[in-house]
Amino acid sequence: MTAQTILTNARVVTPDTVLARATVVVADGRIVELAEGISRVPGAIDLEGDHLIPGLVELHTDNLERHFAPRPGVRWPALPAVRAHDAELAAAGITTVFDAVTIGDLKQGNRARDLADMIDAVADAKTRDLLRVDHLLHLRCEIAHERMQALVEPLIDHPLTGMLSIMDHTPGQRQFVDEAKYREYYMGKHGVSADEIGEMIVNQKRMQAEHAPANRAYVVAQAQARGYALASHDDATAEHVTEAEADGCSVAEFPTTIEAARASKAAGMAVLMGAPNLVRGGSHSGNVSARALAEAGLLDVLSSDYVPASLLHAAMMLADVEGVGLAAAIRTVTDIPARAVGLKDRGRIAAGAQADLVRFAVVDGHVPLIRAVWRRGRQVL
């Protein structure tokens, strides 16, 4: 007989509703039954009325990079860095992650130095079953970089690659329409001097003019040829969105204006915004707020971006936005992101789905207290 795990007396969140007292039965890594009511079967695990939701699906986080370079000039050993990153994600309720790695860093530094080691370490740890979370790769392709194609080529057929995004961080447009914000970001985060930042701006505008059109066409062709999910990053105008739609993008990452978000939604793209933006109450770059998009019915997906613990916290805050509710809010971090990148086997509590589950309580109104996490039926937290 197949061993079963029975989770009962749970507040189960499905894609459409919330079941106040329900039971979920797991066997062979999958959900085999969802039923209303409390199970009396011996050995059933009483969740004491806590929430039970699908494991969170994270499409865009650069948290891995932070663990490899915890301070300027500090390089952490590869396997411990990956394991620490993985543990942080599991503790945040994330069971599927697309580790976002920058391809063509405009500010040559830790990202460029650590790229190969990070990818090799994740792949090795996954092969050896040393990770709690299912890790895939999201290649963030900086199309203004002169060596982007050469850097993408050895990674495009990597077994973990599943998502590409088109990025252009050239100052004066998209995320950095205000060049003062660009100066503030790079001078503050990377310790760039005032003289250096001026030289960077001139050089990056030159590289964009020379390389961006060909690099963009290359990324689109690679994604289409392999069936990878493709995202457009930091769209600001309707023209940006028209180009993204023509390229076959399925995800609009961090649109910077409500105009771009509305056009992306109309084009059938899943509009993704940062969970830190929602938790903090606004964008650190001065762009449109995630809450404003949610209130306008234009927010589909949340991403933890640079703070893994923000993902479920933001979803709980989103649930209180008028017209949203808990079931729809949880979908922005589970079902919708999974389907936007073609992962149809997870992201919902339903018979047949992968048994990625998160148990949590709520304190202080919106703050989730995660008590347990299961991936493919195995408890990992």
pLDDT digits (tens, 9 = 90+) for 320-336: 999 999 999 999 999 99
pLDDT in tens, 205-249: 777 878 899 999 999 999 999 999 999 999 999 999 999 999 999
Range of the domain at 219: 55-347
d(CA 52, CA 344): 20
Where are the strands (E) in the chain, listed by range?
Answer: 4-13, 18-27, 30-36, 45-46, 51-54, 56-61, 94-103, 134-142, 161-167, 229-233, 251-253, 270-274, 301-303, 357-363, 367-375, 378-379
- 29 assigned to some structural domain: no
- 361 assigned to some structural domain: no
Question: What is the model's pLDDT at position 232?
Answer: 97
- 77 assigned to some structural domain: yes
- 338 assigned to some structural domain: yes
Q: Helix axis angle, 258-266 relative to 238-247, nearest 10°?
A: 30
Question: What is the model's pLDDT at position 198?
Answer: 72
- Rounded to 5°, the CA angle 260-266-267 comes to 90
Q: Which residues pair with 354 in a beta bridge?
A: 30
Closest CA to 92 of 133, 138, 135, 31: 133
d(CA 272, CA 278): 12
Q: Which amino acid is it at 6?
A: I
d(CA 6, CA 270): 34
Kindly report the pTM of this predicted structure.
0.92
pLDDT at 341 over 90: yes
The β-bridge relationship of strands 270-274 and 301-303 is parallel
- 369 assigned to some structural domain: no
Q: What is the mean pLDDT of the chain?
A: 92
Q: Residue 361 has which token pair?
A: 């309580």
Q: Is the dihedral of CA 150, 153, 154, 159 positive or negative?
A: positive
- 223 assigned to some structural domain: yes
Give me the half-sphere count of Cα atoms (radius 13 Å) on the Cβ side of residue 234: 20
CATH code, 202: 3.20.20.140
- 103 assigned to some structural domain: yes
Where are the strands (E) in 37-93, listed by range?
Answer: 45-46, 51-54, 56-61
Number of independent structural domains in the chain: 1
Split at pLDDT 50, 70, 90, the class of 191 is: low
pLDDT at 115 over 70: yes
Split at pLDDT 50, 70, 90, the class of 1 is: very low
- 4 assigned to some structural domain: no
Q: What is the mean pLDDT of residues 144-160?
A: 94
